[in-house]
Amino acid sequence: MKKNHVFMAIALPALALFFIFHTYPALQGIFYSFTDWKGYGSWNFVGVKNYLNVFKDNRAGAAYIFTFQFAIVTTIVVNIISLLIAIGLNSKIKFRKTLRAIYFLPYILSILIIGFIFNFIFAHFLPQIGTVLGSELLSKNILGDPDLAWIGIVIVAVWQGVAFNTLLYLAGLVTISEDLYEAASIDGAGIWTKFWKITFPMIAPFFTINMVLSMKNYLMVFDQIVAMTGGGPGKSTESISLLIYRGGFEGGQFAYQSANAVVYFVVIVIISIIQLKILNRREVAN
Amino acid sequence: MTRKKTNWIITVLLMLGSLFILFPIYLAITIAFKTPPEMAGNLLVLPKSWSFDNFKQAIEMTNFFNAFKNSFFITFFVVIFTVLTNSLVAYAIARNLHKKFYKTLYFYFLSAMFIPFPIIMLPLVKQTSAWGMDNLVGLIVLYVVFNLSFNVFIYIGYIKSIPVELEEAAIMDGASTWGVFWKVIFPLLAPMNATVAIITCLGAWNDFMLPLVLLSDQGMATLPLVQYIFQSQFSTDYNLAFASYLMALAPMILVYVFAQKWIISGVMRGSIK
């Protein structure tokens, strides 16, 4: 067989399989979003009715607001903490290997099971501590409070998310030469100046990747919520993924949730592009 | 070079911080060994006795070994097939990027990374159940195919750094394209193969959403899915639940304890590509 034929014989099946199991379902989803299909039985075209309904739907609106609030807060908190830990791990410390291994541990664990464990911490452990300390805020289960439950989910997501982001920042930090800091010290630069003039510009590409990846991941939040609140209390922590899952599989809203998924997809793409644009411009400006 | 002194303040701060990471694990271990009456007391103390009764009961209740077998089966074959096929596809694309077809293919796989799973989830589940793929084999096929998107991206970055001259020399010696890949390129990809194997292994072992929506038979449930299915039956017996959680987490933690250096460097290699 000729060289080019061999390459084709490898690439074509890969293309076919990927199309069948990824692109084709996506196209079907888009197709059904213009129908009234329940997931079974007959269907009719309804035009853009599903899309109009998504925008009028309070439940969907609440899911979008919750998901955004959660994703933005978690992305910021995760990145601040990760950066601090990475800088710490990169300085001259004892037990560096062990500490690094501990901080990375959450990355290898099942998010769902960690969520179950945290569920217990919020429901039983913290209230016990709160009662001993006489603190009213701690003595109740925040996951049972519609206004506070989302914070519990942020905490689990941060607990786990810090692991990977720290590793990425660490990868960036080790590339910065010690000489740069020494030269800056001779010029009389303080810690703060060194961070903003040396550290941050040098790891800016890693910052960009982390912000974009974190945001994208947290916009798709699902496992944590299933384990912690199931979307409750009420619908206060129902994320977009969970809404699509529930409505699509349990609520007979196959076509409607497909339209919701298309909107969701467009939103994720737009946000990723905006983030890349803004963050890249800042990198260049530096 | 001047040797700097150990920064003890940062060391201590990081050690204190690591307690936050270890605490939930500590809680899981101690509660898994406790009995329901002990739960009324201070949750921080160690269990009175280290009895394995909770574990025995959890194993029976959740059919732990069956779920373990399912998770292991899926993870094992997903890792093997992902490494073997995805590297091959990446190689075919990497060596032909100057051609329009392969370049398009590259961006096609790449752009799929931006498609959120929920958009394909509903039709995919219909499709797989209609084709009799709502089982472990179906799951393996889907993981291997979906992994292409990310892996092609990181493999290609690495393959580009391998000089073409190496292959040309092998071809001069009479090796076929197929032979060149397996005998010359694949061994050179070893560090990237390790990275892909690690990331794929973690992804397949811990995934919850795809088994949740795809599998129709409870006997096929994976370890995370089993914890979800039995959540209502554990009800308030937290000792039983935590014994079950701990057993589900333990295999990965054990692997991590022995291979953490390798895992961390593997993931790092993949992330900076």
- B140 and B197 part of one domain: yes
| Alpha carbon A118 to its chain's center | 18
Q: What is the total count of domains within chain B?
A: 2
Say whether both B23 and B74 belong to one domain.
no
* Alpha helix segments (H runs only) across B160-189: 164-172, 177-180, 186-188
Tell which of A110, A129, A270 to mutate to test the B interface (max B CBs under 10 Å).
Answer: A110
Non-local CB neighbours of B178 within 8 Å, separated by 6+ positions: A6
In this structure, the answer to whether residues B134 and B175 fall within a common structural domain is: yes
> Do B75 and B36 reside in the same domain of the chain?
no
Chain B hits for A107, Cβ within 8 Å: 202, 267
Distance from CA of A147 to the nearest CA of B (A): 24
Residue B218 has pLDDT above 80, yes or no: yes
Domain span including residue B25:
7-51
The type of residue at A49 is K
**Distance separating the N- and C-terminal Cα atoms of chain A:** 53
The ipTM (two decimal places) reads: 0.88
Kindly state whether residues B86 and B203 are assigned to the same domain: yes
What is the predicted pLDDT for the residue at B273?
59
Interface list for A 208-247 with B (CB within 8 A): 209, 216, 219-220, 222-223, 226-227, 240-241, 244-245
pTM: 0.88
Per-residue pLDDT tens over the stretch B101-126: 999 999 999 888 888 888 899 899 98
- Residue B57 falls within a domain, yes or no? no
* Average pLDDT of span B244-262: 89
Q: Are residues B69 and B121 in the same domain?
A: yes
- Predicted confidence band of residue B1 (pLDDT cuts 50, 70, 90): very low
Residue with tokens 């800088």: A87
| CB neighbour class for A139 (10 Å; exposed up to 12, middle 13-18, buried from 19) | middle
Summarize pLDDT for B140-190 with one digit per residue, the tens.
Answer: 999 999 999 989 988 998 898 888 888 888 888 888 888 888 988 999 999
Would B41 be classed as within a structural domain? yes
Residue B171 and residue B46 share a domain: no
Per-residue model confidence (pLDDT) at position A282: 66
For chain A, which domains are there? 51-285 (1.10.3720.10)
pLDDT-derived band at B230, boundaries 50, 70, 90: confident
Neighbours of B56 (CB within 10 A): 12
Amino acid making up residue A45: F
Whether residue B87 sits in one domain with residue B15 = no
Residue B253 belongs to a domain: yes
- Within a domain: residue B56? no
* Residues B186 and B264 reside in one and the same domain: yes
**Mean pLDDT over residues A56-63, rounded?**
88
Any B CB within 8 A of A183 CB? no
Whether the CB of B266 is below 8 Å from some CB of chain A: the reply is no
- What's the alpha-carbon Rg for chain A, to the nearest Å? 24
- Within-domain flag for B30: yes
Q: Is there a domain that residue B203 lies in?
A: yes
pLDDT per residue over A175-193, tens digit each? 888 888 888 888 887 888 8
Helix-, strand-, coil-residue percentages of chain A, each rounded to 5 = 80, 0, 20
Q: B111 and B194 share a domain?
A: yes
Residue type, A17: L
Task: Give the closest residue to B228 by CA, choosing from A235, A192, A119.
Answer: A119
CATH number of residue B221's parent domain = 1.10.3720.10
- Establish if B97 belongs to a structural domain: yes
Instruction: Kindly report the average pLDDT of chain A as a whole number.
Output: 87
Task: Please tell me if residue B150 touches chain A, with a CB cutoff of 8 Å.
Answer: no
If asked whether residues B210 and B141 sit together in one domain, one would say yes
Does residue B2 sit within a domain?
no
State whether B182 and B221 are in the same domain: yes
Using alpha carbons, select from B246, B28, B50, B240 the residue that is nearest to residue A125.
Answer: B28
